[in-house]
A and B are shown apart, each in its own frame.
Chain A
Amino acid sequence: MSLPESEKNALKKSVREAAQWFSLLNSGSVSQEQLSQWKLWMEASELNQKAWTQLESIQAKFGALPKKSASVALLKTDISRRHFMKTIGALSVVLPVAGLTYALMPCGRFEGECSAVGERRVVALPDGSELVLNTDTQLKIHFTQQERLIELLQGEVYLSSAKDTLKRDLVIETPQGRITALGTKFTVRTLSNETRVHVLQDRVLITPSSLASSELILSSAQMASFSKESVGLVEQVPRHAVSWLEGSLIVVDMPMTQLVEELSRYKQGYLLCDEALANIYVSGAFPLDDIDLSLNTLAQSFPVKMQQLTPYWIRFTPL
């Protein structure tokens, strides 16, 4: 239904006046005289009444919401949206000729390589080395005359190094320090304050960023975590540590809380697990490309309840 221009303008005028009346009436300091004038305004035309009805329906919408949480939700979205718009807004819609090189969302304007949540990607490096990105990973590649550097900003990667004709060092750098490949296959994962390294073949050299002296060479089948200051205990690489490369999370006697936390890396949204469930130990193989299936399996096999408020908010609690 399209209104003629003159009617549209009259309606807009009524809306403007209604909004001003609303602001006054809502302020809590209205005189008797102003109230009378408002009533006169209401009676003056049908358009005024129409505008007022709109206004009341909007107030009703607000009235039906849980005050505090709605308020926070509506105000907080501004920040994340601005960030998203920066990544997606300026993206030109240019179709690639061969292959798919533009990300609609995960990388956006980020100048590096990355993977979305739940995605695994293989990236071939200029020297022939192979890099596999696990879920939710961001990195930058800096190959120079001096070295082959991969800056791992967040996430987890598997690197299979190739020999370099220029004999440059192949290094992965994280916020905690550097891992130099010594002709090898290994994985690196960033956690909040440390980096974890699993060596699958040959050796790597770990150099924490603060103290150059406490370097450590990790050999085949060894794993260690390190912070900026030091390298932790060297342990054996657990049997299925890199099962993610094949798209599956294999665990043996893992506390359910830890398992759910691991699975949450591969799925958007909130995946929560009550602390009380830490004494349930789980063994099994969980497909990473179908997290929902994995979660349903957990719910069916153990004495737990899976609450699902939305596809993006799931919580495990004891029965």
Chain B
Amino acid sequence: MSVIQAEIIVQLEQWYKGHHHWLRNWLNHRLGNVFDAEDLSHDTFIRASHSKIFLDVKEPRHYLISVAKGLSIDLFRRQTLERQYFDALASAPQDYQVSEEQHALILETLVQLDEMLDGLGHSVKQVFILSQLEGLTYSQISDELGVSLRTVNNYMAKAMEHCCLFQMQLSEA
């Protein structure tokens, strides 16, 4: 273990002792029953300790709150996706007949894809999804969205490029 790693662990323990209770109560009070405050608080400390600036932070509580805010946004995205997915299932009964495990796997994939597609503009995202999920031809997409075939081609390339780069960045980490 390096010196830096040891310092991180010591600080994490100090922070946890000094602020875990406080953060959990704060989150509980502010988020109500929306998210599990205990889990969110715990995850916040872990995430904070992975940050490059962790050892340089002067105001722990300020920092913890901004990290918690980011995490709650992620959680919210996941929840929203879940809700939209089941909402959509209601009008696609054939998709509904799968096991609980499969639903869970599908959701995981959706969360990953959602994050991956996040940087794309809405139109680019639409073109990509219409092609990849709804199986529309470029000509059909062009008609549906009112854009030229050339634009559809460009958007498809742009979206796929973005997705590949995103995926590769992850594996480089």
Contacts and interface: CB of A to CB of B under 8 A. Distances in A.
Contact of A74 (B89, B110, B160): B110
B92 A66 contact: yes
Q: Do most interface residues of chain B lie in helix, strand or loop, or is the interface mixed?
A: helix
Contacts of B91: 68
A55 B164 contact: yes
B2 interface: no
Interface string B55-77: 00000011001101100110011
B117 interface: yes
Interface in A114-132: 115-119
A268 B79 contact: yes
B137 A81 contact: no
B106 A84 contact: no
A37 interface: no
Contacts of B88: 68-73, 76
A66 B106 contact: yes
B122 interface: yes
Interface stretch (B10-18, B24-32, B45-53): B24-32
B160 A65 contact: no
Interface residues of B, number: 70
Nearest to B167: A54
Contact of A88 (B32, B73, B112, B165): B73
B167 A57 contact: yes
Given A116-B31, A309-B100, A69 B109 contact: no
Contacts of B144: none
B133 A15 contact: no
Contacts of A72: 84, 87-88
Contact of B69 (A27, A58, A88): A88
Contacts of B163: 58
Contacts of B114: 74, 77
A252 interface: no
A86 B80 CA distance: 15
A80 interface: yes
B86 A270 contact: yes
A70 B106 contact: yes
B85 to A, nearest CB: 4
A93 interface: yes
A81 B131 CA distance: 23
Nearest to B105: A64
B168 interface: yes
A65 B32 contact: no
Contacts of B76: 81, 84, 105
Contacts of B138: 26-28
A248 to B, nearest CB: 16
A146 interface: no
A104 B113 contact: no
B164 A24 contact: no
A267 B66 CA distance: 26
B38 interface: no
Contacts of A93: 62, 65-66, 69
Interface stretch (A95-103, A191-199, A275-283): A95-103
Nearest to A51: B164
Nearest to A99: B29
B165 A12 contact: yes
B161 A15 contact: yes
A22 B160 CA distance: 8
Given A27-B153, A61-B112, A104 B72 contact: yes
Given A61-B109, A61-B112, A80-B80, 8 more contacts: A28-B137, A58-B163, A71-B130, A75-B129, A76-B88, A105-B72, A266-B33, A313-B86
Interface of A: 1-3, 11-12, 15-16, 18-20, 22-24, 26-28, 51, 54-55, 57-59, 61-62, 64-78, 80-81, 84-85, 88, 91, 93, 95, 100, 102-106, 115-119, 266-270, 309-310, 312-313
5 contacts: A65-B110, A71-B133, A77-B77, A93-B69, A268-B33
